[in-house]
Amino acid sequence: MLKVQKNYGYQRKAEEDMTTNHNKKSIRKEIYVTAFMFLIFFAGMIAYFVRFLVVDADSFIYNSYNSRFSVFADDVERGSIYTADGRAIAKTTKNEEGNEVRVYPDERLFSHAVGYVDHGMAGLEANYSFDLLKSHITLSDQINNSLTGQKSMGDSLYTTLDYETQKAAYDGLGMFDGAVIAIDPDTGKIISMVSKPDYNPNTIDKYWDDINDTEKGDSALLNRATNGSYPPGSTFKIVTTLAYLRDGNSPSDFFYKCSGKFDVDDYTIHCSGNKSHGQEDLLTAFSNSCNSAYASMGVEIDREKFQSTAEDLLFNDTLPTLISGTKASKFAINSDTKESIVAQTAIGQGRTTVSPLHMCMLVSAIANNGQLMEPYIADRIISDDGKVVSETEPVSYGSIITASEANLLNQYMEAVVTDGTAEKVDFGDLKVYGKTGTAEYTENKKITHSWFVGYAKDENGKKLAVAVIMEGAGYGSKYAAPLAASVFKAYFEK
């Protein structure tokens, strides 16, 4: 009997040991699961923190409604903004009541580039607000100002903008809506940026409701130079020419007899004024801006090659630039796209849209032997006592076309000015390379946008690339090209 009880005791002890071991394993498993969950959570937090630092920090810091701006403004007077040639285009002063006010001496002239500080912020005022509200004067001066209750003077921003070039672009647009943008191809510096309709940043608070009235449809707050979305018209023939060559053709392969129109599917494409250009090669088709020839060319180009060429030239992609919030250009054809749409696309109509900035970047690369320099408008930050706080260095995006392609396009764009659609434009003694464009944008094909894109260089090799669009103005050769000529002259003759 005692032996049976003893065996039962051993059995119960073994069962208890097994239960204990099982409980230990369960606890250990729960610990592992909990630790793993914490590890995943911690890794997620690290990933978010890294993304915030690398990607999202600037958009948070420079958000125009960030309350920390007011904290900086309590101790620092907002710095000024200058043109490259030293003219103040935004500064802080005091009104009759002794309150600080932001003043824009040239009113509308730099409105979209510089922006404003009322009702949120825009332009350079927004993107460099923290820089303008920092002070890098000597520490002793900052301490002295703090002790005496005075504000320290904020750092100033010097832009790449040239005053006379900006004025020529602004005056040249006149009463037309549209945009002008000019870039130094060798550095990416933006020399001029104009958009109309515009606004007076000095009175934006007073007229905010009217300026911001979206039902009016004129979008005065929209910077058309960087965010405009337009059919490119014949300026797109630059892209079509490259696609034709990249599809395995040489310039000598192309011959076309123009009768003034080209029929495809149930659609007819006409040359400007229904003009018959007769027998053309690739050079004359380009310089004459022959719609029939390029529509014929477009339907023969391999669709994938056409698409890849456009995307190599930054269509359907974010533009590489330090300017925030730029508009991506659109290009879309595929194997199912009707030939009539492809033909329209080849002459810059159809579903293709571009921004003036993009077109200016494209001709900048052509001017720079195929290499694209990333555009920028903020040149350097200077403290109130003259120290350079930071300076923007030119950055190369790389080559978007080959040197041989750039050389060929230079020849073709030169022919536009010497023998083609821009032949009658007075560019003075400058050597100019360009492409005109007349873009339909309504069912009434008599109302068209006026385009010119191209660049000029002087005898010393100094260059300036320009893109001009004048909404509803008409022929590019009659309106946009002469405006570009006035911009070139203002820049080179100063």
Per domain, the residue ranges of the chain are 227-378+395-492
Which tens digits make up the pLDDT trace of 454-464?
Answer: 999 999 999 99
The confidence score (pLDDT) of residue 115 equals 94
Which tens digits make up the pLDDT trace of 362-398?
Answer: 999 999 999 999 999 999 999 988 899 999 999 999 9
Lookup: tokens for 250: 């040489």
How far does CA 435 lie from the centroid of its chain?
20
Tell how strand 378-382 and strand 156-159 pair up.
antiparallel
pLDDT at 103 over 70: yes
Distance between CA atoms of residues 431 and 427, nearest Å? 8
pLDDT at 161 over 90: yes
Distance between CA atoms of residues 33 and 410, nearest Å? 66
- Residue 390: HSE in the Cβ half-sphere, 13 Å Cα cutoff: 11
What is the per-residue DSSP string for 183-221? E-TTT-BEEEEEEES---GGGTTTTHHHHT-GGG---TT
pLDDT at 249 over 90: yes
What CATH class does 227-378+395-492 carry?
alpha beta
The confidence score (pLDDT) of residue 73 equals 65
Prior bond of 197 cis (ω within 30°): yes
Mean pLDDT of 334-342: 91
Using DSSP's 3-state secondary structure scheme, residue 468 falls into strand
Q: What letter would DSSP give residue 260?
A: S
pLDDT band for position 138 (50/70/90)? confident
What is this structure's pTM? 0.84
